[in-house]
Amino acid sequence: MFEEEYRLFAEVILPLAAPRNYTYGIPADMEAVATPGKRVEIQFGQKKIYAGLIKRVHTVKPEYPGIKPILSVLDEKPVVLPLQMQTWEWISSYYLCTEGEVLSAALPAGFRLESETTIVLHPAFQHDYSQLSDKEYMVAEALSLQHELKVSEVQRILGLRSVYPVLHALMKKEVVVLKEQLVEKYKPRQASFVRLHPRFESKEAMQEVFDLLRRAPRQEALLMSFLHFRQLGLLQSGWLRKRELLQKAGAGESQLLALVEKDIFQLEKKVVDRVLEEEEETSGFQLSMAQEAALAAVRAAFGKQETVLLHGITGSGKTNIYLKLMEETLEAGRQVLMMVPEISLTTQIINRLKRHFGNSIGIYHSKFNQQERVEIWNKLLSKEYKIVLGARSALFLPFQNLGLILVDEEHDTSYKQQEPAPRYHARDAAIYLATQHQARVVLGTATPSFESYQNAVQGKYGLVELKERFGNQDLPEIILADVKEERRKKTMHSHFSSVLLQAMEQTLAGQHQVILFQNRRGYAPFTECALCSFIPQCPNCDVNLTYHKFHHELRCHLCGYHQQPLRKCPACGSPQLEIQGFGTEKIEDEIQLLFRDHPVARMDTDSIRTKQGHNKLIHDFEAEKYHILVGTQMVAKGLDFSKVTLVGVMSADQLLNNGNFRANERGYQLLEQVRGRAGRKTVKGQVVIQTQNPKYPVLEYLLCDDYASFFESEMKHRHQFHYPPYTRLIQITLKNKDKKRLDQAGVFFAHELKALLGSRVMGPAEPAISKVRNFHLLQLLLKLEKAPHLLKESKQRIGDTLFKMSSQYDLRNTEVEIDVDPY
């Protein structure tokens, strides 16, 4: 038959949650170019066209008939390297997801094309068709009439099954672009640059210029400043940034424009780095004695272990140690990956790295538009970047000679991917990635995760501790404000204790700044009828609606549903609807009334929608345009403000009173991180923690700065109740809009798993939030001893159960989400 013509076959990963990879025949004319790591155009099903990835090429003919051919090879060189695919395969196996789901998470969307992908004309296209082939012209002309086309529609226009080569050529010529790339509304940052007109390069011509400017001293001074920059070798291919020139010369726009009009200067806008301004490379900072000792200890630990936990208190200068380790890795000719929990919250670290290493550092995260992410990917393939700074998705990049991975704030929950699959933990995946490259790993934090700290204590990781702040600055003093007692004495002012207000008055009077932390956004968590206690709830989710004063609406934080605030109770008709609780928006409101002479800013996901907005707020707070900053846990991450000497925690009880077995661990970590924002320079800081129970064990350990004892105490409870790190957890969430069928699926799934695992399977049970986006939820929890064979058998059983469910009519529409090592 037709498929017998193929001598070679390709195992192709599709960007879908397909249970397995599929085999395609390689036509004879593609055998030389269809190699692993390249994208290929393939047909899946009757009509769908996708860009898949060749995993391997082999000669084993599949047993089933009707083998489909590869339609075209999209890449001249592989875009995915062998070590990458090995890491992806491990993520797929360990986290119980498909390789297609890993592929979708790893590859920038600009690499992924399918039948339903929408194509539009590039905004910069000037309708010059002279350089286009006949097929390219047909597509461009159709787009000029219809504005947008799907790939399947392009197939019909050209009468071809394989259209990717045509679209690929049009994208390279910047004639078309994927619509999703435009949705992000990415605009490259531009800056004005100045250069001397090329005809004035000779000495004779330059003398002519000075003669011309004899009666224009300010213009002459501007020219002299430019020549000074040139003499110092600070021009970029003859160009100098306009802003730098005007600042140096103390001149205005009018003098510069006069020189442009006289054709002495040329002015041009150029695209500059979106994340950071270009920085001059600097070096030569001095480590403290404690930092030198820690650096030596890290080097020594690397002689025994490949992974080292750097446990350094907040403000101890862990970044300086990172820089030294990076320098040593670069000198050895190897690459560095530095991971941070949330790239948009670490502006100051990025600037520090850029100043030290110049512009050879690549930044990779989800705020970049897809074209730029593809560009960074390609630069790594061509070995242009030696250092990459990124969030968790940077793990998937094509490193070729990785020597060091730095995981900053390794405890942070942002390293765990929640939705969609793969639900991987970037810290753990980074350690596996390092083994693939024979690289070393440094896990840095002031508050280690229990898993990492136990590995260090048991000798699996090296442990290096840095117990003093840079410059011997004291840690902030912690003051507990008893809210319950102050309410009894009636000394509370709304949500502010007298202790916190007095500390704020003293701090602001001393011309220092204040950060207020409340880990709940919005104005109020809910509104309640004073007569019948009715609380408005989301119609799609099992949660209360949060009131947002700025937008004057009730909003669901899970599905985005929103509605106008109620005028009267729909249950009893009473107009007495009262706002209960408080979020960052309400604190901001009240602080502005209490401290009218001090400008206030708010930092949460409602007020900060873009990376640029976050950077601007940080810059303005550093410049003391604001004296008080109110925020969620955003204010706890990656910020270093010299003038902040007071941090107020509005409600520690919200952090510590929840049913999660990690509640105390996370509460301690977050409070310690928030505390670290105060008193980082010359003045000792203060932290006021408001709580209704000052006797919380977590708070007592925090007062004593005794992480080790806190760890030992918590580990006893973890061991007693069989929680990590003594066990491994697998959480299975079943979702269905039909509650009856969901219950049937839950009983079936539990029966299948308990037949093998017995009491290790808990549930099915409804989670705390049992309905999200109109889907009812049930959960099962597997608590497994740390035995490799047990974990392997459990995963196999889960896979078999999923297969059985898919064949049963009443159960197959139930969605199943599997989370290995839930965080």
What values do phi and psi take at 256, rounded to 5? -65, -45
The token duo for 63 is 């047993």
CB of 85 closer than 8 Å to CB of 37: yes
Cis omega (within 30 of 0) on the bond before 764? yes
End-to-end CA distance of the chain: 52
State which CATH number among 3.40.50.10440, 3.40.50.1820, 3.40.50.300, 3.40.50.1980 fits the domain covering 477-521+594-716: 3.40.50.300
Q: Give per-10-residue mean pLDDT for the chain (823 aa).
A: 73 90 92 93 82 93 86 89 94 94 87 73 80 89 85 84 82 77 44 85 79 85 86 78 83 87 85 43 68 94 94 85 93 93 67 74 72 81 88 92 95 91 95 96 94 95 87 80 92 91 93 89 82 90 85 86 89 86 86 91 73 72 88 74 87 82 90 81 84 90 90 93 93 95 94 94 92 94 92 93 88 92 91
Residue 698 CB-half CA count within 13 A: 20
Q: How many CB atoms lie within 10 A of CB 769?
A: 11
**C-alpha distances in Å from residue 482, one per residue of 255, 470, 498, 651:** 63, 32, 10, 11
Matching residue, tokens 């290790």: 760
* Second-level CATH architecture of 2-111: 3-Layer(aba) Sandwich (3.40)
Exposed / middle / buried, residue 438 (Cβ in 10 Å: 0-12, 13-18, 19+): exposed
pLDDT score at 348: 63
Task: Read off the amino acid at residue 695.
Answer: K
Query: Any idea which fold 289-471 has?
Result: Rossmann fold (3.40.50)
Q: How far apart are CA 761 and CA 763, in angstroms?
A: 7
Burial of 101-140, coded b for 16+ CB within 10 Å and e otherwise, reads bbbbbbbbbbbbbbbebebbbbeebeeeeeebeebbebbb
Q: How far apart are CA 607 and CA 591, in angstroms?
A: 16
CB of 518 closer than 8 Å to CB of 550: no
State which H helix or E strand residue 230 sits in: helix 217-231
- β-pairing, 387-390 vs 335-339, is parallel
Report the sign of the C-alpha dihedral through residues 719, 796, 106, 151, in that order.
Answer: negative
CB of 297 closer than 8 Å to CB of 354: no
Q: What are the DSSP calls for 705-771, one per residue?
A: T-HHHHHHHHHHHHHHTT-TTSEEEEEEEEEES-HHHHHHHHHHHHHHHHHHHGGGEEEEE--SS-E
CB of 711 closer than 8 Å to CB of 703: no
What values do phi and psi take at 748, rounded to 5? -60, -50
Q: How far apart are CA 681 and CA 642, in angstroms?
A: 5
CB of 407 closer than 8 Å to CB of 442: yes
CB of 618 closer than 8 Å to CB of 347: yes
**C-alpha distances in Å from residue 44, one per residue of 15, 69, 156, 812:** 11, 11, 17, 22
**C-alpha distances in Å from residue 610, one per residue of 343, 432, 606, 616, 636:** 12, 32, 10, 10, 18
Task: Read off the amino acid at residue 46.
Answer: Q
CB of 815 closer than 8 Å to CB of 803: no
* Second-level CATH architecture of 727-820: 2-Layer Sandwich (3.30)
CA dihedral 70, 74, 77, 83 (to 10 degrees): -70
pLDDT score at 305: 93
Q: How far apart are CA 388 and CA 376, in angstroms?
A: 9
Q: How many CB atoms lie within 10 A of CB 49?
A: 24
CA 659 to chain CA mean position, Å? 26
The token duo for 701 is 């350990």
